[in-house]
Structure 1
Amino acid sequence: MSIEKLKVTQYIPPKGDYEIFQDENHFKEKLKEWGLPVAKKEFWYKDRNFQCHVTIKGYETYGNNNNTLIIEFPNGEISCIHPAYLKEMQQASFGKESMILAEDKPKIMDESEVKITKSSAKVQKERRAETSQTEKTSYSKEKEQSQKIDLPSEKVHFTATIKQFALTYNPFSEENDEVVVLKNVQIEQENPLELGLAWCSHSKTLKKFELAKGDQLEFDGKVVAKKLAKGKDVPDEYIVEAPVLYKINNPSKIVKK
């Protein structure tokens, strides 16, 4: 089996640490649970162009105690695979026609392969959902925090520092607009109110000050809870890593220190 063929194999690495077997008995118990031969330590992996032996290094657990296997290829690469899919690969008839005719026509999966492929796709979808849920939870906490701040409705005095410039998508012009992202934003009043990050349009008024990263400002303005939307096809220098949840409207009486 050619190493070159292994290079074109699509590996699906585990998303983090995975569980390993406690001992030989634990390994055999899990093989039995997955419907794999308990007497084997190496198993066939079959692709449309080749086949090789792989070993099972461990497994991931997701959902209602379901597992995804972590297999190791002869070149040392590891990848995730659904146990039922690996079980199907142990059959002599699995992919036989596809491997013989790989140069002439694409592989046509039978019903059982389609079901297993869909099952593997479901695993990947669940992983993406977990990641998405983590991001949503993080944003929900930030949103909840912003809602706890009682923003003033009238015009107030601010101090802030220029963090960077960014781009936000304008659905009306269907183009990106340049904005100014501020950090250490604080409303100066009897009890100063810290907002953290905020943004405002890079208006003609602001452009007159030839602002640069690190500039410290004082100004008057109104603040509203409005998250900075991402731009489209934004260069790296205009990407804002952290969510910006507040917008400052109509800054005036600007003083650059």
Structure 2
Amino acid sequence: MANALPHIEDSNKTTYLPPVGTNETFADEEDYAEKVREWGLSTTKEVKKQFWYKEATFQRQVTIIGYQTYGKTDDYYTVIIEFEDGNLSCIHPAYLKEMQSPSFTKLVTSESENSPTETVPTKTVEEKAAPAEPKTKEAKPKKEKKEKPKKIELPEDKVHFTAVVKQFAYSWNHFNEENDEVVVLENVRIEQEDPIDIGLAWCSHSKTLKKFELSPGVSLEFDGKIVKKKLPSGKDVEEEFIISDPVPYKINNPSKIVKS
């Protein structure tokens, strides 16, 4: 049973990893539900709001209040959890998912008891031989430098977009180890005083989008938030659902959608 351990609120027994830097919050309930399901933390119709944080001798209830992204393409997440006493801490979503298992504390206790205590012997540093005289290398012709594409400064707030549906695809979700349905958009453009041409972007094929019965070639207008996050390829899917071109940007929570 999940409640086999005492439910305590003893801050002194918990090691906290407070968030540092910029924290992302959820735009709304739909955004929360999408993220929590993406991380594999809830599979029920009603999305879970409380989770167990467990250690070897106790467990505490926590809620997820936000997240941070990291990696070159922001493909990885750190979840920010809040304890009932108000303390905040960071945790990897996959580890929080493991904590929901009834057998988690047994695993932690077993690993702690069986951990090796022997010290690693210090390696003897061998005396280095005298370095050989360096050989003269032939000068190689210099390669022409390719001009780097201009870096796009993405707005942090929600903005208005126009775009065209390019195709539907599947993207591998390493949290729940399943393919997620996504919509790939082309000719994506941020409409503002100085418009920004984005090119390709993607978004989750959410319940909201499915209501519009989209198809390739359909033009759209909508509001949303754009982030630099490359579309992961799907696994073991039909060719028509594979995207061949790299899609470097993701649009979160498109709203006020107008189909034309």
TM-score, normalized by the shorter chain, greater than 0.5: no
Where relative contact order (Cα < 8 A, 6+ residues apart) is larger, the structure is: 2
In our comparison, the structure showing a higher alpha carbon Rg is: 1
